[in-house]
Amino acid sequence: MTTSPTSPSGPNDRPRLTEAQKKENHIRSEQKRREAIREGFDRLASIVPGMEGQGRSEAVVLEATIKFMQEKIVERQALIEEAKAKGIDTTEFELEAETIKAVEAQLQRQALEGSR
């Protein structure tokens, strides 16, 4: 069996990258990662009420998102309880108990921090 001189026969046949090329690849990868994070925070800010047009602070966006999600979970639970009271089967709409407990614990912590 003959091998073509243009086809690599193993992983070591590729030319090694220089340190400058490695550094440039790393810089590009890091820039892509940061851009993806920025775009994610921008998407969050665009769907969380009150965040549109705000200066983009990641901590502020995360805090507002958590508050918004907590509100939505509480609203959902109230709707589920209302439906149950009317005799509607809500099994497929209910959240996991762990999720509800986590939200309740966060709300309690926030209430305690707010009363200090």
The tens digit of pLDDT for each residue in 58-106 reads: 898 998 999 999 999 999 999 999 999 999 999 988 888 898 888 888 8
Cβ proximity of 46 and 52 under 8 Å = yes
pLDDT at 99: 87
Mean pLDDT of 38-46: 90
Cβ proximity of 95 and 73 under 8 Å = yes
pLDDT at 55: 65
pLDDT at 51: 85
**DSSP symbol at 5:** T
Residue closest to 66 by CA, chosen among 81, 83, 87, 51: 51
Residue closest to 57 by CA, chosen among 43, 69, 75, 41: 41
Look over the chain and give the mean of its residue pLDDT values, rounded to a whole number: 85
Cβ proximity of 80 and 90 under 8 Å = yes
- CA distances in angstroms from 47 to 43, 54, 77, 114, listed in the order given: 7, 12, 21, 26
Q: pTM for this one?
A: 0.67
For 43, the enclosing helix (H) or strand (E) is helix 19-47
Between 3 and 43, whose confidence is greater? 43
pLDDT-based confidence at 35, cuts 50/70/90? very high
Is residue 4 over pLDDT 50?
no
Mean pLDDT of 15-43: 94
